[in-house]
Structure 1
Amino acid sequence: MIGCENRAAVGRNPISGRDTKVTSIKLILRASAACAALAMCQPVAAEVPGYQAKVEAKLREVKAEVAKGPFKPDWDSLRTQYRTPDWFRDAKFGIFIHWGVYSVPAFANEWYSRNMYVPGNPAYEHHVKTYGPQSKFGYKDFIPQFRAEKFDAARWVDLFADAGAKYVIPVAEHCDGFAMYASDFTEWDASDMGPKRDTTGELAKASRAAGLHFGLSSHRAEHWWWYHKGRSFPSDVSDPKYAGLYGPAAPTGLPADDPDLWPDGGQLQQWMPPSKAFLDDWMARTAELVDKYQPELIYFDWWTSAPLFEPLMRDTAAYYYNRSAERNYQGIIAYKGSQFAEGSALFDMERGKTDALKLTPWQSDTSVSVHSWGYAQNDEYRTPQSLVADLIDIVSKNGNLLLNVGPRADGTIPDEIATVLRGMGGWLKVNGEAIYGTRPFHYFGEGPTKSGQVRVGGQVEESARKGFVPADIRFTTKGDTVYALGLAWPQDGEVLVKTLYKGTPYLDAPIKSIELLGAGAIDWEQTPTGLRVKLPANAAAKDYPYTLKIRVR
């Protein structure tokens, strides 16, 4: 059974500012009070041969590596030594992949595995109507249907490269507990069940063969509570035979459906804290991913912001950074929320952007599909034009775009997604020099559009997205060139770049020439009110953003 012991950290959390001694005492009291509720929970993992010995061996390995340095498991050491590598700053554009057992039902979104056990949820109603009661047909029963019979990693990577992406990040394990890689700690993985292939390993090999950088994402932390609603009525979640898939299924400890606490609402200390056994399992699996696949980037989902994960996140960062340094590369950890101290890793904004230029590199992740990260029938899709505009906006503010795709269960990528990716790739073939390898200008741009409402910390919520207008212009630089990228084509072809007015302090030397990428030299005039440019009437792709290449000196 799950242990109820938990770690206590003493001091003040440099991320949240909370007194960690007080917080930890509260968490331990909450955990102790919850032990009775957890008594019926499943073991952390299936009884794979030698499971506990394997976990303990991996944890000893982690401890030894962390002790060696140079990265130490404290925020000062991590902040002082971490640097985002140049390859990432040059790449600008990557592909995220949500693919797993949830691609079989393909209903609503990738949270189907959880929502099918939530009475009253549309996924619950759909499941009972389509497959029968969860006691007879549970999430586990989709696994044999997840065959990936048409999966071809090289073909996927060819499409990603054609789109102009420079790195690939598959989800190695989603919250559902089914690992999409060959794990030594569970039999509930794609290597032993379903496809019976190490799909993550195949993607790593194909990506590197094509010259793309490879990373991965772990959403394992949420597995602690993911299936807990399945214990509220007769379902296979409570069957010990399936403990390795459904896991602890621990109660969240939250008031039911409280919108201020779901999914986090800044109140993660109110969640049921994970047990030491679960945290040890999480650490061992994370180290396994680092060592088996040597990812250049690891992205952790939001629930690792829970307070008792903090010491693990420091250990994880030190282990991963030290391991990658031994292998002659600088690893990147992408995080959101309050998982890491600022400057110790790469900040990520899920379906969001910043409204200003950030001095340190960052990343925005969003999806080609509107409603789901995984494949879902009848989803809607973004246009390549809108995604190119978002890419430009993000890059001008010192960020990268990680764009998600959701393949079908058979391993094919929907035509709608492929069309969007190829559209972006076509634009980048002409305009890529204004994106790849660039750095921010003195100011990110001009124009009225912020794309939505600004949340705490200057993050713009994607759900409140507004379309860009011709006055919205963004800047990037490379060497002696400034790129002015118009996010919408003006109907009259007249462009006024106000920032680059005659005598502007933002240019180190006079303008030498200006060309429209894909069309050649164009007429221009620098006036006291701005740089005036006339775009050619016969230019192609007027429904996409355009790029002015401005040479100085």
Structure 2
Amino acid sequence: MKPLRLVLAALLCAAPLSAVHAEDHGAYVPETDPLVVRKLEQWQDWKFGFMMHWGPYSQWGVVESWSICSEDVDWCKRPEGEPYVDYVKRYEQLPTTFNPVKFDPELWARIAKDAGTKYVVFTTKHHDGFAMFDTRQSDYRITAPNVPFHSNPRSNITKEVFDAFRAQDFGIGAYFSKPDWHSDDYWSPRWATPNRHNNYDTRKHPDLWKRFTDFTHAQVGELTSQYGPLDILWLDGGWVRPTDTMDNIAEGNAGVPWPQDIDMPGMAAMARKNQPGLIVVDRAVGGRYENYRTPEQKIPDQPLPYPWETCMTLGDSWSYTPNDNYKSSRSVVQMLVDVVAKGGNYLLNVGPDANGELPPVAVQRLHEIGTWMKVNGEAIYASRSVAPYRDGKFRYTRLKDGTVYALYLPDANEKKLPATLRIPGPAPVGGAEVKLLGDDARLAWRREGDTTVVEIPASLRKQTANAYAWAFRLPGAAPLAFEGSPAL
């Protein structure tokens, strides 16, 4: 994944996970396993998730993994004047100085819960191949003897993270990179590594690819059998896929003609044997193993006809960067509202630093977001989209009992609600109590044509000033029940 400041470049250069293609690749294949369908429905109720990119690269404050990829694109840049081979050697030594002694997963979980998030997706292994779990398949791992943190009682970081978040009732998601640039069976030392793809023809060297496939399955098997209940297997590296599913997003800047078929049917079957009902997200590939789609750093213009999740950074970067440019709490809340109104989930990423701490500015933003969620969460959680989804400054959500919420997104200079608010669209049932969330006052309202006109008392306008968004409850404005996503 790439820094936000590079997204425009990514769109122009066919980046590996470019959000511009997120809705385009392959046909969505609805899941038929009733356990997975049920889990997807639960996941859609959670709405707001927390993601963390973390690894030895956090010591340098550089983009995760991509600086060791030799493609000539902005997010793969290295220091001027240093040969590529020398840089990679230095990068691969980062684990020998990685000692995040301030790692406190319980604190992370409390911060994420305070923010109002309901599930976590943690990077168990990124493209550089360093495992943040106690894998038996490789010595390039957090528990290896040459990693200073290996002697810490909490050295099996993935287990500690999952346990801490599970104790706070979070859904648990394991990010896992299908490509592994440290593996000699992916980037073989026999040949150069010109791009993100494996560097040999898998048709000529099926033995190498078979070993890599077995290695990948074994690591996924560890994660799904040794780390407690998992809800989501979040697979990245969408260019690792069969040739017949290749498109521009998978090929990147320099595609390869050979298949990189990782045997997703076998992997998914094994993972679901270990974790019945597991959601599998084979990002950017399409087909039956992409149970929901993940537009990156982008919110679609309209509702999508399948389950989806916008994944987005709180700062500019996915991984820790000193003095990162963090979004305002107001902008995050308004993006969350917009995503949920269109039927999606919102996965917000923060990168911990080299010591294992979440940056103070990010923690403050998360607390501010959570303060808004404590008042307005009933308009977000367990909701689905309802026409017209959005109208001007309004966004709409609905619950199973027929309640619709109209959420008003103010302009940057708009500090108070209007004295008279005109809400287009869904009509409350006659005699319903229309209320502003966070206040028990019953508001005077009437219908004028296709609009609900609500009078806002001066005292309430003053009391709720400077909110990031205001949510109005409109009872009975939708049918009494709804089905899941159209794709389900």
User: Above 0.5 in TM-score?
Assistant: yes
Count of paired positions: 415
CA displacement at 1:524 relative to structure 2 = 2.3
Q: 1:406 to 1:527 in 2, by over 3 A?
A: same
For each residue in 1:379-405, what CA deviation from the matched residue of structure 2 results, as whole angstroms up to 9, or x when unmatched? 211111111111111112221111111
Unaligned regions of 5+ residues in structure 2, if any? 1-24, 203-207, 243-258, 478-488
Conserved? CA contact 1:172–1:180, under 8 Å: yes
Partner SS state of residue 78, structure 2 = helix
Q: Residues 418-472 of structure 1, C-alpha deviation per residue, up to 9 Å, x if partnerless?
A: 011111100000001111122322442223xxxxxxxxxxxxxxxxxxxxxxx24
3-state secondary structure, aligned to 1:195: helix
Does residue 299 (structure 1) correspond to residue 299 (structure 2)? The answer is: no
> What is the alpha-carbon distance in structure 1 between the residues aligned to residue 157 and residue 399 of structure 2?
38
Task: State the match for 1:218 in structure 2.
Answer: 176
- The equivalent position to 1:537 in structure 2, one of 461, 467, 479, is 461
Q: Does 1:149 align with 2:67?
A: no
Q: Equivalents in 2 of 1:139, 1:426: separation in Å?
A: 40
Q: TM-score, normalised by structure 1?
A: 0.67
CA gap 1:405/1:77 in 2 versus in 1, 3 angstroms: closer
- Once residues 198 and 131 of structure 2 are traced to their aligned partners in structure 1, the CA distance between those partners, rounded to angstroms, is 27
The structure-2 alpha-carbon separation of the partners of 1:250 and 1:403, relative to structure 1 and needing over 3 Å to count, comes to farther
**Aligned-pair distance for 1:188?**
1.1
1:161 aligned residue: 113
Separation in structure 2 between the aligned mates of residue 474 and residue 410 of structure 1, nearest angstrom: 41
Distance apart, 1:207 and its partner CA: 1.1
State the match for 1:68 in structure 2.
Answer: none
Task: State the 1:204 CA deviation.
Answer: 1.1
How is 1:291-330 mapped onto 2 (pairs within 5 angstroms)?
Answer: 291-293=225-227, 294-307=229-242, 308-310=259-261, 312-325=263-276, 330=277
**CA RMSD for the aligned pairs?**
3.4
Q: Deviations over 1:22-70 (max 9, x none)?
A: xxxxxxxxxxxxxxxxxxxxxxxxxxxxxxxxxxxxxxxxxxxxxxxxx
Bigger radius of gyration: 1
Describe the shift of the 1:482–1:396 C-alpha distance in structure 2 as closer, same or farther (beyond 3 A): same
Pick 1 or 2: higher relative contact order, CA cutoff 8 A, min separation 6.
Answer: 2
| Distance of aligned partners of 1:359 and 1:121 in 2 relative to their CA distance in 1, 3 Å threshold | closer
Name the % identity: 26
Change (3 A) 1:133 1:279: closer
SS at match of 1:407: coil
Contact 1:115 1:121 in 2 (8 A): no
In structure 2, C-alpha distance between the alignment counterparts of 1:92 and 1:120, rounded to whole Å: 32
The alignment status of 1:496 with 2:422, answered yes or no, reads yes
> Where do residues 277-296 of structure 1 align in structure 2 (5 Å cutoff)?
277-293=211-227, 294-296=229-231
Amino acid corresponding to residue 394 of structure 1 in structure 2: V
The corresponding residue for 1:59 is: none
Q: What is the aligned partner in structure 2 of residue 551 from structure 1?
A: 475
Partner Cα distance (1:377, 1:116) in 2: 24
Instruction: Trace 1:141-220 onto structure 2 (pairs within 5 A).
Output: 141-192=93-144, 193-196=147-150, 197-219=155-177
Give yes or no for contact 1:176–1:245 (8 Å, CA) kept in 2. Answer: no
Residue 335 of structure 1: how far off its partner (Å): 3.3
Over 3 Å counting, the alpha-carbon distance change for 1:215 and 1:122 in structure 2 is closer
The whole-number CA distance in structure 2 between the counterparts of 1:276 and 1:437 is 43
The counterpart of 1:385, out of the listed 330, 338, 341, is 330
SS in 2 for 1:275: helix
Give, in angstroms, the shift of residue 374 of structure 1.
0.4
Is 1:394 the counterpart of 2:339? The answer is yes
Which residue of the partner structure matches residue 36 of structure 1? none
> Separation in 2 of the partners of 1:135 and 1:269?
20
Per-residue CA deviations over 1:84-112 (Å, capped at 9, x if unaligned) read: 523312211111110001101113x2245
1:347-369 alpha-carbon deviations (Å, 9 max, x no partner): 22121222222343221111111
Matching residue's letter, 2:54 = W
Contact 2:30 2:291 in 1 (8 A): no
Alignment match, 1:475: 397
Distance of aligned partners of 1:250 and 1:381 in 2 relative to their CA distance in 1, 3 Å threshold: farther
| Contact 1:181-1:200 within 8 A present in 2 as well | yes
Secondary structure at 2:299 match in 1: strand
Q: 1:520 aligns with which of 429, 436, 440?
A: 440
Note if contact 1:115-1:124 (Cα within 8 Å) is conserved in structure 2.
no
Q: Which has the higher helix share?
A: 1
